[in-house]
Every structure is written in C-alpha cells, then in structure tokens.
Chains A and B, each alone.
Chain A
Amino acid sequence: QVQLVQSGAEVKKPGASVKISCKASGYTFTRYTMHWVRQAPGQGLEYMGWINAGSGDTKYSQRFQGRVTITRDTSANTAYMELSSLRSEDTAVYYCADLGGTRDWGQGTLVTVSS
C-alpha cells in the first residue's frame, strides 16, 4: 500500500539547518508532486513548497523563499526538505504529502529549535 515514511525527530540550535527525508513506497514516485507543510505547536497548517518528483522542478512559498530547499532522489524514491537559518519559530511538525496523486501524508517529523 502507499506509504510516505519520514525521518525522525530533530533538535537543532538557532542558525543551524535541518534536512528531513520522506521515503515513498507503493506507487510510482516520479509520477507525482511532493508537497511540504508544517504545523507549529497548537497552530494551523502552513504551506512550504513542492517538488515535481519527475522533473525536479520546485516552487516555494514566498514566506520561506531563500531558506527552504526541496530536492529528491529518484533512485531512492525519496524527497527531502532542508530549512536553513533556523529560529525558535521554526519549531514545528513538518509533513510531506502527495496531494496530487495518492493524496497521502507522511507521519510528520518534529523539529525543535532551541539553544
């Protein structure tokens, strides 16, 4: 069955970067677009950007432009989201989601930014 499995929780210091992975199985990874979304504690969902897993084309939300990089490794059926210059407000659960194909979501990855 379709699964999106994300990497484990991370603790980072302010100013550092974090890179989260999202491994897809159960469907043809390169057919669809992978989206990244985050949710700060007690807050709503916030859209970050997407990558076309086939072409590698990306588009990022303006609020993250310059700080976020989404990539993929087609040989590993895996998408990655890297967020740089972390600050405490980036503490959140980060999700990958295949919204246009399987409509499935990863389980989420908690990133804690603390000195």
Chain B
Amino acid sequence: QAVVTQEPSLTVSPGGTVTLTCGSSTGAVTSGHYPYWFQQKPGQAPMTLIYDTSNKHSWTPARFSGSLLGGKAALTLSGAQTDDEADYYCLLSYSGTWEFGGGTKLTV
C-alpha cells in the first residue's frame, strides 16, 4: 500500500505565497495519479479545491492553483488570507483505489 506524504504544518503571512506538496512512496507523482486537494476547517466536512492535478471547482478561489512540481503534486496559495487557515489534504489514485496524505495544517 502506497504512502502519501505531506508537510505536517506550514505557516504563511497574510498576502504571502506558500506551496504545499504531496509525494508518493512509489515514485514521482504524475497526472495519472489524478491528484486532488481538499480544504477542511474545524468541525466542517472537507471541500474539494482541486481535481485532476490543476482543475478548480466552481467555488475554488482564484488564489489557489494546482500543479506537478519536482515529482510531487503541489498546491500553491498566492495572496494568503486569514480565512485560508485550515487543514489541507491531497488524494492520489493507485490502480483504481485511492490514498490520502496525512494532511498539512496551514497557519496564516
């Protein structure tokens, strides 16, 4: 079973830029892993931010973007706002099943 790795915690200043990454124990993350990114605030259900590496949901703020970077999936937040303080999870596909990363606690 693959292990998906994320930074446990990151801090960004309001207005700043931060990149969260998502790696795989099986090797480089590719578009074939169909990377997803989710935001979860305390006491709430997760919300889908990014799907299939870089596609945004209709409710995804423009300041969020997804990409592949250095063999990992990446979520970049440009112009951070205090409302972006949350836990962020990536999800990767492995031959029909899926694995979550451990999550990144983002402090703004």
Contact = CB atoms under 8 A, between A and B. Distances in A.
Interface of A: 35, 37, 44-47, 49-50, 59-63, 95, 97, 99-100, 103-108
Contacts of B1: 62-63
Given A62-B1, A63-B1, A45 B89 contact: yes
Nearest to A49: B97
B99 A47 contact: yes
The 3 lowest CB-CB distance pairs between A and B, nearest first, are A103-B48, A44-B103, A45-B100
Contacts of A46: 100
A101 B104 CA distance: 25
Contacts of B48: 97, 99, 103-105
Contacts, number: 54
Decide if the interface of chain B is mainly helix, strand, loop or mixed.
strand
A59 B57 CA distance: 25
A102 B91 CA distance: 16
B45 A99 contact: no
B45 A105 contact: yes
